Structure 1
Amino acid sequence: MRTAQSRHKSYADRHRRPLEFQEEEHVFLRVTPTTGVGRALKSKKLTLKKYIADPSHIIGPDNIQLKGNFIFGVPPISIANRTTKHLGGKKILLVKVIWNQTIGDATWELEEKMI
Structure 2
Amino acid sequence: MLRACALTYSTKWDECLPLAEFAYNNGYRRAWKWLLSRLYMVEDVEHPSTRERIIFGPDLVTQAEEQVKLMHSNLKRAQSRQKSYSDKRRRPLVFEIDDHVYLRVSPMKGVHRFGVKGKLAPRYVGPFKITEKCGPVAYRLELPPYLVAVHDVFHVSQLKKCLRVPEEAVDTSQIQIEPDLTYEEHPIKILDQKQRATRRKAINFYKVQWSNHSEEEATWEQEEYLQTKYPGFLLTTTNEYV
Q: Higher helix fraction: Structure 1 or Structure 2?
A: 2
TM-score normalized by structure 1? 0.41
Q: Higher strand fraction: Structure 1 or Structure 2?
A: 1
